[in-house]
Structure 1
Amino acid sequence: MSAVRLLVLGVVRMHRQPTYGYAVRQELLSWRAETWTNVKPGSIHHALKQLAQEGSLRALGTEGSAKGPGRTLYEITDAGEAEFVRLLETALVSADMEELGAGIAFMDALPRARVVELLREQRERSEEIRVGLLAMIPEFPGRHVAPYSVDLLELWSGVFANLTEWTGGLLARLEAGEYHMADEPTVPNEPAAG
């Protein structure tokens, strides 16, 4: 759920003005977020309501509709801004692909040095997981273990090897100045950072 919460807060924040749940949903659909996260229309609306109940979003009112349910207008609160940053930083060090993907989607909301720091930590964590998985392989000889256990350990160590390598490439691009980050001045005709 934290990936959905991050995505919802990030999109509301990105709009820089009060927005409807439908607009949040449309934005995430335009990103094809359902292909790289577990976000569904129902989870978006549930997250909006829950974040409003918790005080991270403020519901500004609901307008009626003859065609369906009323539309509620939301804006992010100071508490929501803090929650967004907390979720974003947690996502950028996560080895969970869905959370990490949500973090990458909004990494430009942080200063460059902070993103580099967090992604270095994520890369180290992924490498530690890969090494740990490979270290388990010698523990699995014998007939009492499922015959595919070693294959699964090799599969997951390969996933984390790829994640480690991919993160290294992203870090190199960030360190070379690629992407516009929150602590950098906006260039004319360039959209502001998320």
Structure 2
Amino acid sequence: MSAVRLLVLGVMRLRQPTYGYAVRRELLSWRAETWTNVKPGSIYHALKQLTQEGKLSARGTEGSSEGPGRTMFELTEEGEVEFRKLMDEALVSIDMEELGAAIAFMDALPRAHVIEKLREQRRRSEETRTSLLAMIPNFPGRYETPHTPDLLELWSSVFGNLAGWTDGLLERLESGEYRMSD
């Protein structure tokens, strides 16, 4: 799944009808380039691809005194379905870009649904951590392999931290923090 795809659909959902540069400007205001691989070209590519797939529809061109007209886009019903599908996938993901994109839009979903998905994400993080730690004894000593035990400890720590961070977010959601769709 592409985090950029989810980000574009999410911004379109918030700001529609809107045009590509406004989507780009919105993501730049969030500093999305610091926590995801979103680039201007990937935003415009996603807009084109999503329009070809029927997830967005072009709603005409708005004139501009500063250059060519701007194509206005809106989310279609298929786009809403795609947004929700990508949200569900990203909320359980252990990929930081995907999860980050989902967290940015988690308020678009019902609280109980987000909690359920984040519990699954937390379980996956902990399982990944446990399986990485279990691999360490199967490798020779630290100085006999290309630092494989060190890498496994690094990655297991990352997933342990992700599980701990998710616990905190779950606590905040369960206590009623954040405005959600319901």
TM-score bracket relative to the smaller structure: over 0.9
* Residue identity matched to 2:177: E
Partner SS state of residue 179, structure 1: coil
Task: Give the 4+ runs in structure 1 shifted more than 2 A.
Answer: 61-70, 142-147
Give the alignment of 1:102-117 within 5 angstroms: 102-117=101-116
Q: 1:11 to 1:143 in 2, by over 3 A?
A: closer
Q: 1:97 to 1:143 in 2, by over 3 A?
A: closer
1:43 match: 42
1:119 match: 118
1:191 match: none
After superposition, give the CA deviation of every residue in 1:132-164 in whole Å (9 maximum; x if it has no partner): 000000111169963311110000000000000
Percent identical pairs in the alignment equals 74
Instruction: Give the deviation of 1:68 after TM superposition.
Output: 4.1
Contact 2:142 2:148 in 1 (8 A): no
Partner SS state of residue 71, structure 2: strand
Partner SS state of residue 147, structure 1: coil
Contact 2:142 2:149 in 1 (8 A): no
Give the alignment of 1:148-167 within 5 angstroms: 148-167=147-166
Contact 2:142 2:150 in 1 (8 A): no
Give the alignment of 1:5-16 within 5 angstroms: 5-15=5-15
2:78 match: 79
CA distance in structure 2 between the partners assigned to 1:22 and 1:142 by the alignment: 53
TM-score by length of 1: 0.89
After superposition, give the CA deviation of every residue in 1:50-86 in whole Å (9 maximum; x if it has no partner): 0000000001123465644442100000000000000
* Residue identity matched to 2:8: V
CA RMSD of aligned residues (A): 1.7
CA distance in structure 2 between the partners assigned to 1:117 and 1:143 by the alignment: 39
- Unpaired runs of 5+ in structure 1? 184-194
Instruction: Give the deviation of 1:2 after TM superposition.
Output: 1.6
Q: What is the number of residues matched between the two proteins?
A: 182
Partner SS state of residue 39, structure 1: coil
Give the alignment of 1:151-190 within 5 angstroms: 151-183=150-182
- Unpaired runs of 5+ in structure 2? none
